[in-house]
Chains A and B, each alone.
Chain A
């Protein structure tokens, strides 16, 4: 009997999760070593969506590299466009006119809401709360319709331009968006009644995936994933860009750094985004939406191209050779996108194409922290941990 028991050996079980797993939010593959229900080791594999965005950008002009940024974090393309255009504007030393700044701030906050709604819906669905998913998509649809009204596309918007935005907003758009901001706070309350009192939700989020403030900073986390740990770092406050220094908003932070606090942060952020959009509409100044002093950097209005010789020449050269008079220098510019800090590092050699474009993607950094969150926890919490860092693999793999 004793001899038989000694012969029984136990060893860790290795299982493969993904890349085609609905709860991994894209093509993320995890290899988990399990001791019973406990995760001993977690190894993520990424790169399934690698398209070589950085390499492609080196072979495109500054103008034609813009659509590539739609496809980074494809849930919040507006915010990516804004980040890219800001970086190029800073490199060239041009500034967008006031009205364009407000519009960009507005659409970036819209994309923050739509990204957080999608996150809430799928995260809750993963943990077992189905209903909120259906409610969340109702509001997301409204926002996507608004994007479509604005620029003709729902996801790959390519709306911002170097030196402004592509076209002005219509009154119809403004009216509908203002109605949205009036209704949305009530909708957030609706989501909260669905899950805030839900005992299963609370059990599965409180005290799970805890990361302390110092450690979160050391890992390079950003956005709500960092702020859930109580670090008040928000690019919109630390280095305001576009119209963020002209609107009032708070930066919600958590205390415990667990899945629940990060959830609370994102819910509050949606309220703040709503506030920002409302202020942008109320304060929206009149004027042009493209920088008038940048004819050699951004495309001239189409009307002028058809009528004046000079604009046509500018248009032709900009499309074929890229912006003229690029400076010889380098710039790192970052913005606060829904997922965290999106940075662009440009090295320019004076030609119309970036010599090097580096994308600092928040999802890439957040994906690297998944083993830290998962190891030692239960296998069921792996799902909660993937959801809580809010990664999009398009941005992670680039």
Chain B
């Protein structure tokens, strides 16, 4: 069967199984995404992972998207699923509102979700309930803000409120410059 048709079948099955939670499906260039509410995300993922017919054993990616000012709820967590044995794929998009940026963790389903979810937390400030080790991963642990949010500036205009470790580095560099050898001896 064509990949698109399989993905549509899976989307239909999800709708029947979780009528309350599936908000709709979107199709573009032969790829199907299912938009769901966040509340029962873990059950949905367990269903997709455990059902032998679908067997989504492989979690390709978890990432966040910020739709600030364009869509309500503001955030989406996007899961790219793949079945290595059946060779079919589907995308699940879970909507997460700004005022309550919490979603259940799927580390219990896929071990690989661990760092991917940590990155979402780091970049978007979305917390994953039940995550074993939810810390920042790419940014320093004392960093303020979540860089991939749309209201986070590309270039810093913080001035005095700059990350304090950076200021330390600058000060140290300034201090070290005093010891540099002078050309005139």
Answer yes or no: do A and B interact. Answer: yes
Task: Determine if A345 is an interface residue (Cβ-Cβ < 8 Å).
Answer: yes
Task: Determine if B102 is an interface residue (Cβ-Cβ < 8 Å).
Answer: no
Q: In the assembled complex, which residues on chain B have CB atoms less than 8 Å from the CB atom of A397?
A: 138
The reply to whether B57 and A217 form a contact with Cβ atoms under 8 Å apart is yes
**Which A residue sits closest to B58, measured CB to CB?**
A217
**Which A residue sits closest to B118, measured CB to CB?**
A368
Q: In the assembled complex, which residues on chain A have CB atoms less than 8 Å from the CB atom of B168?
A: none
Contact of A47 among B89, B139, B148 (CB under 8 A): B139
Of A17-25, A51-59, A147-155, the one touching chain B? A51-59
Main secondary structure of the interface of B (DSSP, over half): mixed
Given that A343-B80, A365-B112 are contacting pairs, would A356 and B65 also be in contact in the complex, using a CB cutoff of 8 Å? yes
Of B12-20, B27-35, B39-47, B177-185, the one touching chain A? B27-35
Contact of A220 among B58, B89, B123, B137 (CB under 8 A): B58
Task: Determine if A296 is an interface residue (Cβ-Cβ < 8 Å).
Answer: no
Contact of A217 among B65, B84, B123, B140 (CB under 8 A): B84
Q: In the assembled complex, which residues on chain A have CB atoms less than 8 Å from the CB atom of B112?
A: 218-221, 365, 368-369
**Which A residue sits closest to B152, measured CB to CB?**
A55
Contact with B along A188-223 (1 / 0, CB 8 A): 000000000000000000000000001101111100
- Complex CA distance for A50 and B137, rounded to whole angstroms: 10
Given that A47-B137, A220-B58 are contacting pairs, would A329 and B28 also be in contact in the complex, using a CB cutoff of 8 Å? yes
The reply to whether B61 and A47 form a contact with Cβ atoms under 8 Å apart is no
* Contact size range, A: 35 or more
Of A107-115, A165-173, A330-338, A375-383, the one touching chain B? A330-338
The reply to whether A331 and B29 form a contact with Cβ atoms under 8 Å apart is yes
- Complex CA distance for A316 and B156, rounded to whole angstroms: 30
- Complex CA distance for A330 and B33, rounded to whole angstroms: 9
Task: Determine if B78 is an interface residue (Cβ-Cβ < 8 Å).
Answer: yes
Task: Determine if B25 is an interface residue (Cβ-Cβ < 8 Å).
Answer: no
Contact of A46 among B60, B138, B148, B154 (CB under 8 A): B138
Task: Determine if A261 is an interface residue (Cβ-Cβ < 8 Å).
Answer: no
Contact of A218 among B57, B139, B140 (CB under 8 A): B57
Task: Determine if B170 is an interface residue (Cβ-Cβ < 8 Å).
Answer: no
Task: Determine if B101 is an interface residue (Cβ-Cβ < 8 Å).
Answer: no
The reply to whether B111 and A360 form a contact with Cβ atoms under 8 Å apart is no
Q: In the assembled complex, which residues on chain A have CB atoms less than 8 Å from the CB atom of B65?
A: 347, 355-356, 358
| Interface members, chain B 72-89 (any A CB < 8 Å) | 78, 80, 84, 87, 89
**Which B residue sits closest to A217, measured CB to CB?**
B57
Q: In the assembled complex, which residues on chain B have CB atoms less than 8 Å from the CB atom of A360?
A: 60-61, 63, 80
Task: Determine if A93 is an interface residue (Cβ-Cβ < 8 Å).
Answer: yes
The reply to whether B29 and A364 form a contact with Cβ atoms under 8 Å apart is no
Task: Determine if A262 is an interface residue (Cβ-Cβ < 8 Å).
Answer: no
**Which A residue sits closest to B63, measured CB to CB?**
A358
| Interface members, chain A 266-294 (any B CB < 8 Å) | none
- Complex CA distance for A196 and B91, rounded to whole angstroms: 43
Q: In the assembled complex, which residues on chain A have CB atoms less than 8 Å from the CB atom of B91?
A: 330, 332
Q: In the assembled complex, which residues on chain B have CB atoms less than 8 Å from the CB atom of A365?
A: 112, 115-116
Task: Determine if A140 is an interface residue (Cβ-Cβ < 8 Å).
Answer: no
- Complex CA distance for A341 and B84, rounded to whole angstroms: 13
Q: How far is the CB of A326 from chain B (nearest CB, A)?
A: 12
Contact of A345 among B29, B61, B84, B147 (CB under 8 A): B61
The reply to whether B29 and A368 form a contact with Cβ atoms under 8 Å apart is no
Q: In the assembled complex, which residues on chain A have CB atoms less than 8 Å from the CB atom of B80?
A: 332, 343, 345, 360
The reply to whether B111 and A372 form a contact with Cβ atoms under 8 Å apart is yes
Task: Determine if A231 is an interface residue (Cβ-Cβ < 8 Å).
Answer: yes
Q: In the assembled complex, which residues on chain A have CB atoms less than 8 Å from the CB atom of B66?
A: 356
**Which A residue sits closest to B114, measured CB to CB?**
A368
The reply to whether B31 and A55 form a contact with Cβ atoms under 8 Å apart is no
Q: In the assembled complex, which residues on chain A have CB atoms less than 8 Å from the CB atom of B114?
A: 368
Given that A90-B29, A220-B112, A332-B80 are contacting pairs, would A52 and B61 also be in contact in the complex, using a CB cutoff of 8 Å? no
**Which B residue sits closest to A233, measured CB to CB?**
B84
The reply to whether B140 and A345 form a contact with Cβ atoms under 8 Å apart is no
Q: How far is the CB of B164 from chain A (nearest CB, A)?
A: 17
Contact of A50 among B26, B84, B87, B139 (CB under 8 A): B139
Q: How far is the CB of A68 from chain B (nearest CB, A)?
A: 14
The reply to whether A93 and B87 form a contact with Cβ atoms under 8 Å apart is no
Q: How far is the CB of A129 from chain B (nearest CB, A)?
A: 31
Task: Determine if A398 is an interface residue (Cβ-Cβ < 8 Å).
Answer: yes
Task: Determine if B110 is an interface residue (Cβ-Cβ < 8 Å).
Answer: yes
Besides A220-B111, A360-B63, A364-B119, 18 more A-B contacts (Cβ < 8 Å) are: A46-B138, A47-B140, A50-B138, A54-B148, A55-B147, A218-B57, A231-B84, A238-B87, A329-B29, A332-B61, A332-B80, A341-B60, A343-B60, A345-B61, A345-B63, A358-B61, A358-B78, A360-B61
Q: List 14 A-B contacts (CB under 8 A).
A: A217-B58, A217-B84, A218-B112, A220-B110, A220-B116, A238-B87, A330-B28, A343-B60, A343-B61, A347-B65, A349-B70, A356-B65, A364-B116, A365-B115
